[in-house]
Structure 1
């Protein structure tokens, strides 16, 4: 049941996002668009409530409960960023708005961008770990090893993403020069 709800929340996220942007830029209904986009956090609250009720009703804590916590953490951290980026693209494509800036590709600007993304991953892991810790305490004396393992999964994601982001700061990619452009056919 929880896995199906996670899938439904993901599909719902994209459906609400597409509907919100279509209503905003095609029909010019800004208030309706805001209302649709504000419904997105409700999906995570529903997932959280159903997961808590599932555990309260005696379900054995499993990987699906850990996945639900990771999904909620990821959505909290990356959801607003995703919505903002896609809103910029929709404004450009559908409402003749300015082209949204692309993330930097070179140098320390790219390293700073990767660092900001890593901070989002830290937030996602913090939310997921807090939800998982709450679930562990909520369950009490039962077997919570699967929930603990998902805490480690989220912490490993932070470390791996941090190392990748750090490589951009240590070895920044250099911008192509005019001489490089002349060599290419």
Structure 2
């Protein structure tokens, strides 16, 4: 695995570490401001990945699927970051602190709406990540060096389309409650 791939892995681990540190500091150690500080570090992790990827490409590297994955990761992290933190926060409160309401399994139209919200977040992630890819394609201005980016855009467009079809299907065939 190359340096960029390891950076992506480190950034993903770093993302969850700063969230965990934020939750532990906030709820276990009762340091609300310090906990918020750790949670606010999540965009710094994204900035590190963006800087490393851009520097590698600027220094003449040919774009690979790993470079493209960095753009996808950035889009997903920005679009889903807040909801992932909220998801972790709710579960931490319930399962670790034994406070709050138990997370419920969504069904019916509630699940359909939630699924569509996730698909719209996916669309936002796509817009952000695709913008990075298109800008890098434009700046590098060498189709041979950016072929991986073009391929990633095609595959991601297909995946996004499938995501929309699946979310729409839940409005037609709602997810049943367990045992029904």
Mark yes or no: TM-score above 0.5: yes
Question: Residues 94-173 of structure 1 correspond to what in structure 2 (within 5 A)?
Answer: 94-106=96-108, 108-143=109-144, 144-173=146-175
Q: Is the 8 A contact 1:19 1:36 kept in 2?
A: yes
Q: Which residue of 1 aligns with 2:42?
A: 40
Choose from 84, 87, 90 the match for 1:85.
Answer: 87
Q: Which residue of 1 aligns with 2:22?
A: 20
> How far 1:8 sits from its partner (Å)?
0.2
Taking the aligned partners of 1:27 and 1:175, their CA distance within structure 2 comes to 38
Taking the aligned partners of 1:103 and 1:122, their CA distance within structure 2 comes to 24
SS in structure 1 of the partner of residue 151 of structure 2? helix
**RMSD of Structure 2 on Structure 1 (CA):** 1.7
Taking the aligned partners of 1:67 and 1:169, their CA distance within structure 2 comes to 31
Q: Deviations over 1:139-180 (max 9, x none)?
A: 113521111111112211211111110110111234479xx6
Taking the aligned partners of 1:16 and 1:7, their CA distance within structure 2 comes to 14
Q: Which has the larger radius of gyration?
A: 1
Q: Is the 8 A contact 1:103 1:113 kept in 2?
A: no
> How far 1:98 sits from its partner (Å)?
1.7
Unaligned runs of 5+ in 2: none
Taking the aligned partners of 2:68 and 2:39, their CA distance within structure 1 comes to 26
Q: Which residue of 2 aligns with 1:183?
A: none
Q: Is the 8 A contact 1:61 1:146 kept in 2?
A: yes
Unaligned runs of 5+ in 1: 181-185
Compute the TM-score of the two structures, normalised by the length of structure 1. 0.89
> How far 1:79 sits from its partner (Å)?
1.6
Q: Is the 8 A contact 1:110 1:168 kept in 2?
A: yes
Q: Deviations over 1:75-127 (max 9, x none)?
A: 11122111001111222344453215425212x22211111011011011111
Aligned residues, how many? 177
